Every structure is written in C-alpha cells, then in structure tokens.
Amino acid sequence: MTAKLQTIGIRKEYPGTVALDNVSVSFDGGKVHALIGKNGAGKSTLVKIFAGAVQPTSGTLLVDGQEVVLRSPRDAFAKGIATVYQELSLVPSLSVAENILLGRLPMRDGWGGCVVDWPQVFARAQAVLDGMQTSLDVRTTVAGLGVAQQQIVEIAKAMSFKPAVLMLDEPTSALAQHETQNLFRLLRNLAEKGVAIIYITHRLQELPQIADTVTVVRDGKHVGSIPIADATPHTIARMMFGEVIRKERPTDLQAGTEPVLEVRGLGRRGKLHGVSFTLYSGEILGIAGLLGSGRTELLQAVFGAEPFDEGEIVLAGQPVRGATPARMKDRGVAFTPENRKEQALVQCLSTRANMCLASLDRISSFGFTTRARERAVVNRLIEQLAVRVHDAEQAVSALSGGNQQKVVVGKWLNTNPRVILFDEPTRGIDVQAKQQIFQIMWDLSRQGISSIFVSSELEELLEVCHRIIILKKGTLAGEVRPGSVSVDQLFVQCMEQ
C-alpha cells in the first residue's frame, strides 16, 4: 500500500514576509519527488511544516486523505513522516544499532530492574537494514564509518519508524560520485516498497538519475509539478526563475586592461581541474555553476585557505609561492566566505572588534592598539557602508544578516585590498541589503579594486558582473558576457553535461 502526502492552500506568514502563499501540492507513495527552488523560494518552510517543526498560518495538510495537524516532530513521526536533514544527528560514540533505535532501546527485566535487551537491539536494527537491502555491521561504532555509511545509518534511523513518507534534505552534499549512486539505489528500493520520498536538492544535474517527478516552488508559491521526462533544463529554468526583470550595471563601470590576478592551470585532486582565468583591474568577475561545481573550492584555493596540487597564482605579475591566507592578505587579496557567522565573524565580539580583526597590524602601533584608534577607523566604515548599528560596541550577533555582511566587507576594506573574493555574499539577506552589497562592489570597481563574485542566484551575476565564467565539475566550461545571455540560457549552460 502506498501513501500520499497532500497540502491544500498552505500559507505561512512571518513578520513582514509571506514564506508560503496558497501552496497546494501532493506527493504520492512509490515515487521519488524532487523538490527544488532557488534560495528563499519556500521549500525549506514547506519541509519544516511536513516535519512538524513549523505550523502553517492557514491551510490543510492531509495524509492518505485524512486531515492532520502536526504540532511537533513527534506528531509527524506518529503520522508516518520522517525527515533526514543535511546535518547528521548521530552519536559518534554509539554503535550503528544504538543510533538506529536511539531513545527506543528494547528493555527486559534483569538484576536490579530493567536492563537493555542487547540481542533485541541488534536484531531489530539488523531487520531495518535488511529491509533497506543494505549491509552494515550493527555493532560497529558510528565514529568509524565514512560519511556515506553514516548517511545510511541516518536513513535507517528514520526508516525504523516505518514511515510512509521520507524527506531528505541535500543528502548527497558530502558524498562522492560512487557513494551517491549507492544512495540512489537505496532510495529507489524504498520507493518500490511504496514509500513517498521527497528529495530536496540544489544539485539539479542529479534529477534525471533519481527523480520521478519534479516540484518547483518560487517566491513562496507552487509553480508546478512535472514528470522527470518533461523536466528539460529549459523547462526547469522557466519554472524556477519565471520572467526576470534584470537591473543593469551602471554604465560608467568599465573594467581596466591591466591583469591583477592570473590563475593558471589550477588543479586540486577531485575538486578542480586545470582552471585558468585572468582578472583585470576594477573588474567584477562572476563565477556561475551548480552546487558541487567547485566554485567555493576555487576561491579557497586562490586565497590559500585550501591547498592545490598543480598550477600557479600570479598577482600583479609576480607568482605567489606557497599561498596562505596571511600571505594573500599581505599581497592585497581579501575573502568573504559563504558562512559569515562561523567563518568570517566572531559573534560574541563587538562590531568594532570584528571590523578590526583583519587589520590589527595596520591599526596598532608597536604592537598595541586602543579602542579610540579602532573607533576612528570603524566609524568611517560604518558610515561608508551604511551599516545600521546603534553603536560600534554593539555585539555583531545583534545585527541583521545584511548588516553582518557589511561588517565582513568592512573588515577587509581596512586592509586596503586590490582583490576581494565574494563567496555568496547575498545569501540570507533581504532585497535592500542585496542592492547595498552590489553598490559596494560597484563603488570598489570605480576605485580600481577587482572582485570575484560567486552566487547561486544567476540573476545577480547578470546584474552585477562585467564577465562570467562557468564551472562544471571543477572544470572551466565557458565564459559569457551579461549582455549576451539570459538567466535561463546561463542556467542551461551550467546544467548541460
């Protein structure tokens, strides 16, 4: 017997925004349903509603035609809905069996009271794995498993509840190609048993291998659901992006002709393969590519944060020997990472302290600095970047995402960079803050400072950049000019094998 999960008119409002707007969609058992959409499209909110972690403002949720109200993840489990999140929730020091049955270990009477019935623990865990047609030693400690095997344990834990619906959030983000194929075989086996699988992914190149249907959400609305046979790159692009009204880059922004940064044949085993490009003075160079294409790895290699096996980096005509973040900073390269909260800011410190972290050597005198000296520099940047903060001493954790991003940029502007590497600088910030980040890039361009801009939002690259290079599977696959390509055409070029 197969299950069916269905929504009718689901709406979710947050203060100042509508995350989901009248979403009516259904997911049938026995199929793998890909759920896709741009960042902020609403798919995460929809999944959280299915998982019982978020309650809708209005609308109806049905399981097998019966209306249900899910007030907690426990309610979702009780209705046969299980979720496997991207961040695994295993206990490394426990065995595979203990993780699968965590919180539900079978007990028996023993000396002094109830004790764990270990034979039953191992037998029940083994039965779950057997039902999934996968082989793992249930007595093995999870810490000794690879990421792919841990992913299987996480799925087995969900399957131990005997769910009718299994949701997976970016399950292949940390898996190698052969591990991904093994996971796909497992999911197809589960679908054949009647389980409805909802598969959330940004890796759109995976869709033909795993999905039966593709469901797209955009701007909080259900755009449509189509069979995988109809899900061509052009069709998906139209569904995801719709009619895009693109703003133009200011006409006075002209890239120079002087090479500032040259990347020659850069390679890193399994990540990058012979990548070469040149960045010119005042140029904003975009990097387009799907998740897993090597965009972040390329920026990290250029900044010296990750090693590369072959190739070289040339700055202002001089080869860089033994690139490290400290050396690249000294040579005038700055890097704003994708995860600003954990990799770019110290949340417990003030806005002032964060803005000075990368430039203490410039601000200090004989190894010492003062708060007054720092505030003079920081106050100028707060005004220049329009950072909305009550006072420079306010904790950076209290700022909005957009203002935190401006603090990250300000931190690096203090170093007087020649090149800034922007990795997803607009992720998680509102439209106004995005435009302010774009304006900062344009202002830097006018000053002759060059930028490399990575974004999953292809419209942003077309709006902001002078030139865009395309990465696919760690290889440079092409170059386009924003005026000569539309967003759906760029998307198709990123997808094509």
Pair (235, 341) in one structural domain: no
pLDDT of residue 496: 60
Give the CATH number of the domain where residue 451 resides.
Answer: 3.40.50.300
pLDDT of residue 430: 65
Quick check: is 155 in a domain? no
pLDDT of residue 246: 56
Quick check: is 57 in a domain? yes
Residues with pLDDT less than 50, the chain: none
DSSP one-letter string for 99-160: HHTTT---EEEETTEEEE-HHHHHHHHHHHHHHTT----TTSBGGGS-HHHHHHHHHHHHHT
pLDDT of residue 450: 96
Residue 456 and residue 338: Cα distance in Å, rounded? 11
Pair (23, 114) in one structural domain: no
How many domains does the chain contain in total?
3
Residue 293 and residue 474: Cα distance in Å, rounded? 5
Quick check: is 157 in a domain? no
pLDDT of residue 339: 82
Pair (113, 8) in one structural domain: no
Containing domain of residue 114, as a range? 91-149
Residue 354 and residue 389: Cα distance in Å, rounded? 13
Q: Which of 149, 177, 197 is the last residue of a domain?
A: 149
pLDDT of residue 171: 82
Pair (69, 26) in one structural domain: yes
Pair (386, 443) in one structural domain: yes
Rg from Cα positions in the chain: 25
CB atoms within 10 A of CB 178: 9
Pair (116, 62) in one structural domain: no
Pair (71, 39) in one structural domain: yes
Pair (283, 351) in one structural domain: yes
Pair (143, 171) in one structural domain: no
CA 344, 347, 349: angle at the middle one, nearest 5?
105
Quick check: is 254 in a domain? no
* Cβ pair 264, 279 in contact under 8 A: no
* pLDDT single digits (tens) 385-409: 888 888 888 888 888 778 888 899 8
